[in-house]
Amino acid sequence: MNNLLNSSFQSERHSKILYTAKKHWISLVIPIIYILVGLVGIVFTSFGVGFLKLIGLGLLYLLYKGIVAILKYINTKIYLTEDHLTVTYGILGKSVNDIPLNKLEAVILTQNFLGRILNFGTLTASTGDVTQAYVIKNPMELRSKIIK
């Protein structure tokens, strides 16, 4: 039986991929900090008593958030086909979000000083219904391919 996601992936294979955007490593800084702080939570939960154990549980939550953010980073794919900006994401399940290029209302590029130095930025593509924003490498290149 062919489900919606499989048929979407099959139709994407027949479209010519013009550009594949890669998420920038700067997106991993906060999740790595969460994981490092969360590892302290393991110590507090294992060896702490009373209030320290409660703090350890809170820090374990940060560990969980960091791991989930890294898994999302690994499993997110952004690419531009001839007529769509396609974003696939998901950890256990997969979601495919196709934004038709003819329905794009705005393409906004935000790049701060550090982003200009390290060549990353936040590209926001918006239609009336859908707004997607991702921190990617070479955002000017993707923007120029979308706008043509």
Task: List the pLDDT tens digit at each of the 148 positions of the chain.
Answer: 444 444 444 444 457 888 999 999 999 999 999 999 999 999 988 888 888 899 999 999 999 999 999 999 999 999 898 888 888 988 889 998 888 888 888 888 999 999 999 999 998 888 888 788 889 999 899 888 888 7
Q: Which uninterrupted H or E stretch holds 73?
A: helix 51-75
| pTM beyond cutoff 0.85 | no
Domain residue spans of the chain: 19-101, 103-147
| Assigned token pair, 131 | 């707004």
Contacts (Cβ under 8 Å, ≥6 apart) of 102 = 83
- Strand partners for 85: 80, 99
Rounded CA gap, 128 and 74, in Å? 28
Q: Beta strands 120-126 and 106-110: pairing type?
A: antiparallel
